[in-house]
Structure 1
Amino acid sequence: MTTVVVTGASGGVGRAVARIYGERGASVALMARGEKGLTAAARDVEEAGGRALSLPLDTSDNSAVDAAADRVESELGPIDIWINCAFSSVFAPFDQITAAEFDRATAVSYLGFVNGTRAALRHMKPRGRGVIIEVGSALAYRGIPLQSAYCGAKHAIQGFSESLRCELMHEGSDIKVIMVQLPAVNTPQFSWGLSRLPRRAQPVPPIYQPEFAARAIVRAADRPRRREYWVGTSTALTLIANAIAPGLLDRYLAKTGFDSQQTDEPRPESQPANLWQPADRTDDYGAHGRFDEQAHSHDPQLWASEHHRTLLAAAGVGAAAVAGEVTRRLLR
């Protein structure tokens, strides 16, 4: 039986990932702060046919993550896959984020990944195998306004993963470190994140459902041959555009990035903020946010990404056929 650890498992993408592994009959260790969400996530896993172990903790606490990893090994078995997905952030211009808030967002969204990766490696290295998935974002390459803490953390995870990957390759290790760069996803973070925006925060369209992102993460763990997966057409286009014309994107986002991240509704004064305390202490938010009507469940880019060799082969066959026809006509 496969043993999987999912951080940030109480809601959003992590919750959807845990459910998929439950459907596969896996043993799933669920790490997050919100006990209501964790309890519901464990129920999801077990009702789907898997085995669940709830581990309420803060991933920024390295000692807690280490102790939890030991429990996973003793109660569920050797860890095969570790998926880092937990994060917290602040929606606000940089100069409206306090130093303590920025430190806290970085501790969860970046150092939480480092702590999880360290704990995973401590158990995987003696066995010489395992897969670590670092859930990233298009924002790991392309920063946008109003999310400086989140973008900084995702950029840091990208650099950290590249460094670690090289070290493992140098050692001849078969442990794989894969980054999965996600698009905008319909998760509860836009309802429970600390925000100083005048209107409700929203993902930058196009928006995808968490199950779409979760399927991509699970497939990446199934096929860890590639160092990185881009998920969604918007992610691919953003990363390509940023590589070609980053200055143009700076100007475009300066004009559009504020409105595109806010709905027309005023931000409720009573909106929870999960930066310091989990928002799901009393309520289970589930995997989905408020944008089901706008969110997509499929995207042809994901299929193309997974079958790029087939597409290249088909393109090669097509090119050869065209070349053959041109040659035939020239030799008439």
Structure 2
Amino acid sequence: MPHQIAVITGAGAGIGRATARTLARAGCDVALIGRNTARLEDAAAELAELHIRTLTITADVTDAEALERAADEVEATLGPITLWVNCAGAGVSGQFVELSPKEIQRATDVTYLGTVFGTRAALIRMRRRGYGTIVNLDAISLPRPLRSIESGARAAIRAFTESLRPEILHDGDRIHLSLVSLPAINTPRFVWTRNRTGKRLRPAGPLFEPEIAAEAISRAAFGRHRDVRVGLSGIGRRVAAFLAPTLVDRRQAVHAYHQQLEKYPAPDDAPDNLFAPVAGAHGAHGPFDHLSRRGMPLLLTTTLRTILTGTVLAAGAAALVTALRRKR
């Protein structure tokens, strides 16, 4: 395996920042891309003691030409890109009809098109050498009310990734495209998401620290897994949604609002990062460390999922055979 040159978008805070630390500890040289120069430099300073090379590049992922220039700078400074992780994202929470068209477009552009443009910049350069790894992020939880735009963007990322894989296989390149599905992660997004609900936002469902997400991304990259799912949460809800979608809709309408909202009103002048980065020092973690799980959950990789599915099918077949024998 060649020396790893990793590029991370959204690297100044949250999952991107935690991923930078994890990949640096694995020995990768790391290029950090984000909108806030001071925050990127602070993230790079954290990596100095690990004795790897770093490069910070200020760029907005919605600007495809800026990402192309950033990729060229990475290769000219650090060397050929072997790993690209698309962590950048932005959201807006609130009832859909209360969101402005500009807010909807911007949140979609950052989360979905930012991933598409990042993937394109990486793929163009990796195809010159015929190898590399690209990691995109998906969400485990069911689409929830008040988060329609983010839910749509993540679904689009999933479909985009699945459509792109056959193209790469057709061309015969040894380029790996991985999709990491994450539960709720304790990042600053709960503080700086544009909020049209009038209440402070809080996580719904099991919450994990950003280091868990970073470890899953690292395993997806180095293990060359097609898919990695963090934990088993949400599987039951997805089965229920398939079997009884109307009941799930009703339950979401009743319970999902209070699960995502604090009882305290949100400040009217709270800053958000939708159109510009929020000032100040923000690391990987958000404000919910007291609720977050630090233990590593089961990582359901493509291989493990195949084994589990085979085990369930074999057990079901054995039970059916036993039942048929008893009838005789």
Count the aligned residue pairs.
Answer: 316
Q: Which residue matches 1:284?
A: 281
Q: Deviations over 1:185-242 (max 9, x none)?
A: 110001011101121111212111111111111101111242x211122244444444
Point out 4+ residue stretches in structure 1 off by more than 6 angstroms. Answer: 303-306, 309-313
User: What TM-score does the superposition give when structure 2 sets the normalisation length?
Assistant: 0.89
SS at match of 1:126: helix
Structure 2: which 5+ residue stretches go unaligned? 323-328
Q: Which residue matches 2:245?
A: 246
User: Partners in 2 of 1:132 and 1:195 — Cα distance?
Assistant: 31
Q: What amino acid maps onto 1:163 in structure 2?
A: S
Once the two structures are TM-superposed, the CA of residue 246 in structure 1 deviates from its matched residue by 3.4
What value does the CA root-mean-square deviation take over the aligned residues?
2.3
**Residue 257 (str. 1) matches residue 260 (str. 2):** no
SS at match of 1:289: coil
Q: What amino acid maps onto 1:168 in structure 2?
A: I
Q: Deviations over 1:233-265 (max 9, x none)?
A: 224444444444433322221111111111222
Once the two structures are TM-superposed, the CA of residue 148 in structure 1 deviates from its matched residue by 1.2
Once the two structures are TM-superposed, the CA of residue 310 in structure 1 deviates from its matched residue by 7.2
Q: Which residue matches 1:330?
A: none
Q: Which residue matches 1:2?
A: 4
* 1:81 pairs with one of 65, 80, 83: 83
User: Partners in 2 of 1:111 and 1:303 — Cα distance?
Assistant: 27
* 2:69 pairs with one of 53, 64, 67: 67
Q: What amino acid maps onto 1:39 in structure 2?
A: E
Q: Deviations over 1:49-95 (max 9, x none)?
A: 32211011100000000000001111111111110010111011101
Q: Which residue matches 2:159?
A: 159
Percent identity between matched residues is: 40
Change (3 A) 1:306 1:183: farther
Q: Which residue matches 2:180?
A: 180
Change (3 A) 1:244 1:211: farther
SS at match of 1:181: strand
Q: Which residue matches 1:146?
A: 146
Q: Which residue matches 1:329?
A: none
SS at match of 1:257: helix
Kept in 1, the 8 Å contact 2:32–2:40? The answer is yes
Once the two structures are TM-superposed, the CA of residue 174 in structure 1 deviates from its matched residue by 1.7
User: Partners in 2 of 1:244 and 1:71 — Cα distance?
Assistant: 50
SS at match of 1:200: strand
Greater alpha carbon shift after TM alignment, 103-112 vs 304-313:
304-313
Change (3 A) 1:306 1:18: farther
User: What TM-score does the superposition give when structure 1 sets the normalisation length?
Assistant: 0.88
**Residue 40 (str. 1) matches residue 42 (str. 2):** yes
Q: How does 1:50-65 map to 2 (within 5 A)?
A: 50-65=52-67
User: Partners in 2 of 1:89 and 1:247 — Cα distance?
Assistant: 27
**Residue 128 (str. 1) matches residue 130 (str. 2):** yes
Q: Which residue matches 2:215?
A: 215
User: Partners in 2 of 1:254 and 1:186 — Cα distance?
Assistant: 24
Change (3 A) 1:4 1:266: same
